Homo-oligomer: A and B are copies of this chain.
Amino acid sequence: MQKLYVQSTLVFLFALHAIDAWADDHRSTPIEPDPMGLVETLPAEYPEHWLLVMDAAFFHMLSGKVIVLDADADTLGKQYKGSMNASFIASLAQSTTKPEFYIAETFYSRGVRGDRTDVVTIYDKSTLDVLGEVLLPGGKRASAMPQRYALTLIDDDKLLLVYNFTPAQSITVVSTETRSVVAEVAIPGCVLAYPTGDRGFTSMCSDGGLLSTQLNEDGTLDSQERVASFFDTDEDPVFERPAIIDGIAYFPTFDGQVRPIDLNSNTARIMPEWSLVPEEEAEANWRPGGIAFTAKDDAGQLYVIMHPDGGEGTQNNGGTDVWVFDVENQTRVHKFPLKEWGLSIEVTRGENPLLVVTNGNFELEIYNSQTGELIRTLGGFGQETPFLVRGAQ
């Protein structure tokens, strides 16, 4: 309890000498002094059950962060592995070919005002140090609710795609090799970048169609191909938030269908839709919804947050259940009720995946993804609004 500089401490320590001397010979050897300046590091490849929690800090947007948690650990001390700051509703991408994270973020020279600077900040996975940054020109980075495909790695993670909205729409192409901007590709009327084909991406368009773009090796535009409208964006909208399994993106629709789109070739290919809701439960009007409400596991199962009594206006609400689907057989294999209302989900990689749910209290519920059993709830880690969670890759 005494807070002293060493000098003054030594004065009164002298007074204690008699007492301590009395006991000294009875004791074990004392604790060695701790070194100065120790800083922890993490493994360059994260364990399967580690999470990257994207806390947008909606009430304090300049103070967003990405928190690295171990979902297997029992106590906060063991759960919390580190953090990275992430300013103004940032986006995150993780490389699997380099030990790097990429955070697309925005700064103003005076906090909320002044000169704007958009950057991709490059973090080392092991040290969580900033390795460098790529300046994004034009102040174009989309400012929106977090989306998994607002920042996309393609071409063995050599190219990073940043979605822009000003409201003109484009993709800024960043080379992770040279850490520089190499191109900007216009995607008029379309949004986001789902990895597609050899070295490309697909965007979803306002007419209910798609736009598939292929890039050259240097990241410049090679070709673009439009896929004609296949749904009515007013009356029968498809969510722009798919889970991608073996190159097939499963896009839920507002009314409870799923629309698979094959992204394995250079141009997206529409596949037949099927229903998420078994016929015998149709009457309860179950619908998908939430923030990041779709996920997949490495065995190829699709996870969707569902809510009953759905209708116009309920599409972003979240839900009471997570349903799990076999996409091959187009059947539901599990129906897991959630402890609290669920807003976003993620499933970790590997053979024993965990289902992670951001609940309405902005805590993370960790479930066994095969049994639906609640294992633990992660909270109290300094989070405000963790809208989006990514499993460590």
CB atoms of B111 and A85 under 8 A apart: yes
Question: Does A121 count as interface, using CB distance less than 8 angstroms?
Answer: yes
Contact A107-B113, Cβ < 8 Å, known A63-B62, A63-B63, A313-B1: no
Min distance, Cβ A183 to any Cβ of chain B, angstroms: 25
CB atoms of A61 and B59 under 8 A apart: no
A1-31 interface code vs B (CB 8 A; 1 in, 0 out): 1000000000000000000000000000000
Interface residues of A in 123-145 (CB under 8 A from B): 130, 133
Chain B residues lying within 8 Å of A313, measured Cβ to Cβ, are: 1
Q: Which residue of B lies closest to A383 (CB)?
A: B59
Question: Does A382 count as interface, using CB distance less than 8 angstroms?
Answer: yes
Contact A109-B109, Cβ < 8 Å, known A59-B382, A60-B63: yes
CB atoms of A110 and B107 under 8 A apart: yes
Interface residues of A in 264-318 (CB under 8 A from B): 312-313
Q: Which residue of B lies closest to A86 (CB)?
A: B111
Question: Does A112 count as interface, using CB distance less than 8 angstroms?
Answer: yes
CB atoms of B109 and A60 under 8 A apart: no
Residue positions of A touching B, CB distance < 8 A: 1, 57, 59-63, 85, 87, 105, 107, 109-113, 117, 119, 121, 130, 133, 312-313, 382, 384
Enumerate 29 A-B pairs (CB-CB under 8 Å) in ascending A order: A1-B312, A1-B313, A57-B63, A59-B60, A59-B63, A59-B382, A59-B384, A60-B60, A60-B62, A60-B384, A61-B63, A62-B62, A62-B63, A62-B111, A63-B63, A63-B111, A85-B111, A85-B113, A87-B110, A105-B111, A107-B109, A107-B110, A107-B111, A109-B109, A109-B117, A110-B119, A110-B121, A110-B133, A113-B130
